[in-house]
Structure 1
Amino acid sequence: MFIDRRSYGLWDPRDHGLPEDFYLTNYTKVPQAKLLEYLKGVGTSIKENETPGLDCAVVKTKFPGIYSISTTDFFYPSIDDPYMQGKIAACNVLSDMYAMGVTDVDTLLMILGVSVDMDPVAMDYVTKELIRGFNDQARVAVTNVTGGQTVRNPWPMIGGCATSTCREGEDFLRPVYGKEGDVLVLTKPLGTQLAVNMFEWMRTAAKFNRVKGVITVDEIVAAYKMAMTSMSYLNLDAARLMWKYDAHGCTDVTGFGMLGHSNNLAQEQEAEVDLVVDTLPIIKGMIKVERHLNNNWNLFKGRSAETSGGLLIMMTPENAAKYIQEYKAVSGHDAWVVGKVVKGSRQGRVVEEPTLIEVESW
């Protein structure tokens, strides 16, 4: 099924000297089994002064009270607009820092894979746009790309490494102080993976026919646009407000989904508490698609991966209400109370039948 991307106000390859059937996401097909094989053994060596399980590496320096906070992340394109994909990649890297309360990032290195499977014209255009998007978003984050590494690769990839030198309690927050009675605040809607997949499904009649009677093309495009808006929005404002409203800990919701990341955060707590997610705000249209597909993405169980997702923050109910109100005023976007911290055994879980909120705009 051909979708005239230009008529929907989306990035169109014809506007950039590329054929109309060019899709950046066609160059990112790596079998999941092969990826898991590659990842075996990664991250198994932890130095004594590092903190495993957190969103960033937290390493003591030789200077008392001073830590080096760093993170590395990269991935293959999930959308077709390479400029927007570059912006999303920068957001995704920086989000791990923001989850630790680090709002001033000293250095940002770019990791770029140039696809050798593209023809030279497409490769040149895509590479330049990925770099431009990444650089532009770094400037919005008030940091600079100071270097990086570029390699030739069968698949295009984009990401980076962020580093900052910090003082504990002043420049970064350890996500370990959750208390019974706290609530969980989420700053972006869920369903990004499903939204971009539905947009991709429209290119294949057999796939699109599975949902054709459930969701319209217009609804899929609207969900896709909302997903891009969310993925390309920095979590910087959300991180800055954590300091003002005394956050007790935070993580960002990305590849492990709500369940995986809430569980990781729960395991880091000093107190014996559980993180219980009872509400899931989801991009409009994706609830009915997920139901129709018999929960194929496990979205309602919190297992669906997100890309450049929101921050999941623990704070008191009183501060959460003020946080959500000011976040809306500062960013123009909604945030939601999605759960609570209860006495337990450092586990995260999503309730059997969570409240589903259809997010109509973000």
Structure 2
Amino acid sequence: MNTDAAPPLGWWQQTSRLAAAAAVGLPAWLTVGVLLHREADGTGSWFLLGDPLVALGCLTALLWRRRFPRAVAMTVALASTASALAGGTALLALGSVATRRRPMEIGGVVLVYVAASQFPSPYPTQGAPGTTWVELVFPVLAAGIAVAMGMAVGARRVEVRSLRERAESAEREQTARAAQARALERNRIAREMHDVLAHRISLVALQAGVLDHRGDLTAEENRVLVRGIVEGSHHALEELRDVLGVLRAEPGRPEPPQPDLGHIPALIQDARASGLDVTLSTTVTGRPSDVAARTCYRIVQEGLTNAAKHAPGARVRVALEGAAGDRLTVSVHNSPAAYATPHPPTSGFGLLGLNERVDLVGGELDHRPTPGNGYLLTAALPWPNPVLEKRT
């Protein structure tokens, strides 16, 4: 990025600057005209034609001062020695160079400007004591004022550019944060939708598969399975409605209670009612954190969902163990499928969501096939001792 580039000027801004440069030289030109009229009995053709033409050429050259600042400034400084009306153009060109805030460049243009001011003037004037010092000091003071104003304008441009870049950077960061928030929200919606629906739909599919593959069931057993399918479908719709209600809730509105370890027995009971052979063993002592308990519930739910989808009729063993100050360990192990079914569709969101949940609590997740075509899903979640944490 070119930090020396000045912002482009509009037509009105360009015209106003050129008019100001002409206005600065106008008093000097009129003063010279008065002196010539008084001392030389006439102003002369150079004053009336040559001086304004040189000033007009300098004003035209200023149109390119931002593209060729040094060349224009030096050219105008040299040309202005032959025109009293062009004095303001030289100062404007010098100030334009000073906005770049380059000491060597500014010093070179100032040296040319002061040296050119010592050239013989085209107007005959009478010398006076101390005139040489006046002719040297006045250009130096004028150049100093122009340089000071130009550097002030340059500093302001740098500050404005810095503020604009900060604003653009903050806007980009805000856009990135908004995109990240949207991505996180989409991931959360995907996890919640999967956790809520996949389990219920898998149990419904399991019951429907039993009806399809078991021709020896009694009428009562068929009614039980059909009733389970109907109830499971209703539960799935209710849970979907709850999830959508949470997602559409107004900011600040409390969410409904999340499941924890106390809800796992009901989860196991629902799986058994749907025809899944599940046993639960637990040796958990104490109450883990809400996040760890909710993650444990989701792990068991995902294990039962996968068993119902990929291993219908299998035996499933769920084990929970842990204590404060140690770890909370959960495992879901299922045997091979009791009968063959069409390969169910897989999305991959379930285990991906579990990995994210477990990573958030600092735990470890493992899932792999076991000998005999079974499958094992295990997780170890940290369970710090709250008493020790309070003491430290």
More strand by share: 1
Which structure would you say has the larger RCO, counting Cα contacts within 8 Å and 6 or more residues apart? 1
